[in-house]
């Protein structure tokens, strides 16, 4: 089993060393977009891909890019260029390319607005194989003569629709004019608007078109399944999953994760929280897999945490709950997964956790299944208590129906002379509640993730975990301030990872930024003298 599990990637034509890197990351098989785009790009063709975040599109272009440009060799010019709309994405994509490219020792450099030019110039001078850039900063560097793109063999336009939406059309044209004619180009976009078609016609050569395959599943044939989704920030996911499991109280559940590593980690965390959970993935021996499955079938384990590969072809009659710990990479995968519940006329439940940025994927699934997946708020502590009390109520009703109460009447008789009978009954109910195992009393509510508010752009939608404080800065929309400027300034001046920066709200004359409370003083201090485009930020802690 172990030796063959990454045949999926190898059969796409990928180099063994790259397949090895994917193995280390715990990827078991290619996603739909990877299966389509990788062979086409490896064969040297241009590709026009329609795919949103969460489909695995980064690997779909990064792996072929790495293979086509080859191993790192000293003193070679930049050979791969990836253009992305935001600083966030630049860092994310650069990190992914770095991880996938480890066996080739590929040097990757992200360049983006907001960070000091000097720093990025120095890094550029040290040399890079691949540059991941936002269009504004890339053009700035080209104009300064600091970014030589004459050796670029492989160009990626990632989230091209976003780049156009953000007004980067002119920058894109100018950058593309600075690239060699003979090169390979991949363009990825979540939508295929006419503007994207025009861009494609101008800059791609006879591209292979790839979309997430949507064959096979016919709408309307789905079993009876209650579908629900929760939007939660990554740091809150495990707590949200635990809360949902407590409320749903599944008889048997499969929780799907993307990678083997995630499966192992999540199963461990669930066990640590007292759930009967076991991992199932392609890295286990056949014997281990059989044992886990047997225990699951015999209801000795309630929760199976699994990858798609491991769960495929399982002959498990029925599970009461399917949980997507991440949004599945394609509607097909979603339909396939949730098909494991709601069998044999019984109602099943399909729960999907999504991060705010993955909502487009959810809508894509809804579009495909022609069913709405309602977004609900994660159950509160209050809900949990209500559920417990409901359970106590049913057990009291069951005891009444069972009878055999005679020998307890004496207790009631003796106490009733002194106490109110209602109080007596309530005390008995309290005892019944306390003898049930379950939620500890120190549970806290899980913060909701803000839903996008269209009218208040520009806003950066992002939530962070833990205690959050807000920083006020005296610049806003009137000063042409953009979220990326603030993220850049904070990351640069206060060395805060952009992942730790929460929502950014830009109003006309001021802006608010969410940061971890523990760091707020330090960040304010670091920003005190910072300027953006010649204007002082005037940062202070927002007291409201």
CB of 42 to ligand AMP, least distance (A): 16
Question: In terms of CB distance, is 328 or 488 closer to ligand AMP?
Answer: 328
How far apart are alpha carbons 302 and 515 in whole angstroms? 38
Applying CB under 6 A, which part among 24-32, 147-155, 413-421, 534-542 lies near ligand AMP?
24-32
CB-based contacts of 408, cutoff 8 Å, min separation 6: none
How many residues belong to the site for ligand AMP (CB under 6 A)?
Answer: 13
Question: In terms of CB distance, is 120 or 330 closer to ligand AMP?
Answer: 330
Q: Looking up tokens 């503007």, which residue turns up?
A: 195
Binding-site string for ligand AMP from residue 338 to residue 377, where x marks contact by CB under 6 A and - marks none = ----------------------------------------
Question: In terms of CB distance, is 25 or 192 closer to ligand AMP?
Answer: 25
First to last CA, the chain: 57
How far apart are alpha carbons 455 and 477 in whole angstroms? 14
Half-sphere exposure of 338 (CA within 13 A, CB side): 29
Write down the H helix ranges in 225-358.
237-248, 260-272, 286-297, 308-311, 331-338
CB of 357 to ligand AMP, least distance (A): 9
Of 27, 104, 168, 256, which one interacts with ligand AMP (CB under 6 A)? Answer: 27
Cβ of 411: how many Cβ atoms within 10 Å? 11
CB of 424 to ligand AMP, least distance (A): 56
3-state secondary structure 444-466: CCCCCCCCCCHHHCCEECCCCCC
Single out the residue of 22, 5, 107, 6 nearest to residue 58, CA to CA: 22
Are 181 and 203 in contact by the 8 Å Cβ rule? The answer is no
Question: In terms of CB distance, is 95 or 433 closer to ligand AMP?
Answer: 95
Binding-site string for ligand AMP from residue 251 to residue 270, where x marks contact by CB under 6 A and - marks none = -------xx-----------
Using a 10 angstrom Cβ sphere, with 0-12 exposed, 13-18 middle and 19 or more buried, the burial of residue 534 is exposed
Q: Per the structure block, which two tokens stand in for 322? A: 């399917």
Q: Per the structure block, which two tokens stand in for 432? A: 């019944």
Question: In terms of CB distance, is 236 or 469 closer to ligand AMP?
Answer: 236
Question: In terms of CB distance, is 72 or 258 closer to ligand AMP?
Answer: 258
Q: Whats the size of the chain, residue-wise?
A: 544
Question: In terms of CB distance, is 26 or 113 closer to ligand AMP?
Answer: 26
Q: Looking up tokens 């109080």, which residue turns up?
A: 423
Question: In terms of CB distance, is 56 or 488 closer to ligand AMP?
Answer: 56
Of 5, 6, 31, 320, which one interacts with ligand AMP (CB under 6 A)? Answer: 31
Using a 10 angstrom Cβ sphere, with 0-12 exposed, 13-18 middle and 19 or more buried, the burial of residue 487 is buried
CB of 240 to ligand AMP, least distance (A): 18
Applying CB under 6 A, which part among 28-36, 134-142, 178-186, 207-215 lies near ligand AMP?
28-36
Half-sphere exposure of 500 (CA within 13 A, CB side): 16
Question: In terms of CB distance, is 14 or 139 closer to ligand AMP?
Answer: 14
Applying CB under 6 A, which part among 29-37, 39-47, 129-137, 450-458 lies near ligand AMP?
29-37
229 belongs to the binding site for ligand AMP (CB under 6 A): no
Q: Per the structure block, which two tokens stand in for 12? A: 């796409």
The sheet with strand 208-211 has its strands ordered as 108-111, 130-133, 80-83, 154-157, 184-189, 47-50, 208-211
CB of 139 to ligand AMP, least distance (A): 25
CB of 26 to ligand AMP, least distance (A): 7
Binding-site string for ligand AMP from residue 49 to residue 68, where x marks contact by CB under 6 A and - marks none = ----xxxxxxx---------
Question: In terms of CB distance, is 45 or 258 closer to ligand AMP?
Answer: 258
Where does this chain bind ligand AMP (CB under 6 A)? 27, 30-31, 34, 53-59, 258-259
């Amino acid at each position: 089993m172990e030796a063959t599990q990454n045949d999926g990637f190898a059969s796409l034509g990928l180099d063994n060393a790259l397949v090895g890197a994917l193995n280390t990351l715990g990827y078991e098989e290619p996603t739909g977009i990877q299966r389509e785009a990788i062979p086409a790009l490896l064969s040297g063709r241009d590709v026009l891909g329609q795919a949103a975040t969460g489909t695995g599109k980064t690997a779909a272009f990064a792996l072929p890019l790495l293979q086509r440009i080859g191993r790192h060799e000293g003193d070679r010019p930049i050979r791969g260029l990836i253009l992305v709309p935001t600083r966030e994405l630049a860092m994310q994509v650069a990190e992914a390319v770095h991880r996938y490219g480890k066996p080739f020792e590929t040097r990757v450099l992200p360049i983006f607005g907001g960070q000091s030019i000097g720093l990025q110039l120095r890094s550029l001078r040290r040399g890079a194989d691949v540059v991941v850039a936002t269009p504004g900063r890339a053009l700035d560097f080209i104009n300064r003569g600091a970014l030589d793109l004459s050796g670029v063999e492989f160009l990626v336009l990632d989230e091209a629709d976003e780049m156009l939406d953000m007004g980067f059309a002119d920058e894109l044209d100018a950058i593309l004019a600075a690239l060699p004619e003979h090169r390979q180009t991949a363009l990825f976009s979540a939508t295929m608007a006419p503007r994207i078609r025009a861009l494609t016609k101008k800059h791609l050569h006879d591209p292979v078109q790839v979309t997430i395959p949507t064959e096979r599943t016919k709408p309307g044939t789905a079993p009876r399944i209650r579908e629900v989704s929760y939007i939660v920030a990554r740091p809150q996911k495990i707590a949200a999953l635990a809360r949902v499991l407590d409320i749903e109280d599944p008889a048997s559940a499969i929780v799907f994760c993307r990678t083997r590593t995630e499966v192992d980690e999540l199963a461990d965390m669930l066990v640590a929280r007292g759930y009967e959970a076991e991992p199932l993935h392609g890295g286990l021996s056949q014997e281990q897999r059989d044992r886990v499955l047997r225990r699951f079938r015999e209801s000795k384990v309630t929760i199976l945490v699994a990858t798609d590969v491991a769960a495929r072809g399982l002959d498990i009659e029925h599970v009461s709950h399917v949980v997507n710990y991440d949004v599945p990479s394609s509607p097909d995968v979603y339909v396939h997964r949730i098909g494991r519940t709601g069998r044999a006329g019984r109602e099943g439940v399909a729960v999907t956790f999504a991060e705010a940025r993955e909502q487009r994927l959810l809508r894509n699934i809804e579009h495909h299944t022609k069913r709405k997946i309602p977004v609900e708020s994660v159950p509160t502590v209050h809900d949990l208590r209500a559920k417990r009390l409901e359970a106590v109520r049913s057990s009291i009703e069951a005891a009444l129906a069972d009878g055999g109460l005679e020998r307890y009447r004496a207790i009631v008789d003796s106490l009733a002379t002194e106490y109110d009978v209602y109080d007596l009954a309530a005390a008995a109910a309290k005892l019944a509640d306390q003898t049930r195992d379950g939620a500890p009393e120190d549970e806290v509510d899980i913060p909701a993730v803000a839903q996008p508010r269209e009218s208040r752009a520009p806003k950066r939608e992002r939530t962070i975990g833990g205690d959050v404080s807000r920083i006020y800065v005296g610049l806003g929309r009137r000063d042409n301030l953009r979220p990326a400027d603030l993220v850049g300034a904070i990351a640069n001046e206060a060395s805060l990872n952009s992942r730790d920066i929460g929502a950014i709200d830009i109003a006309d004359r001021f802006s608010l930024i969410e940061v971890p409370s523990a760091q707020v003083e330090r960040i304010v201090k670091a920003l005190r003298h910072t300027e953006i485009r010649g204007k002082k930020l005037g940062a202070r802690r927002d007291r409201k």
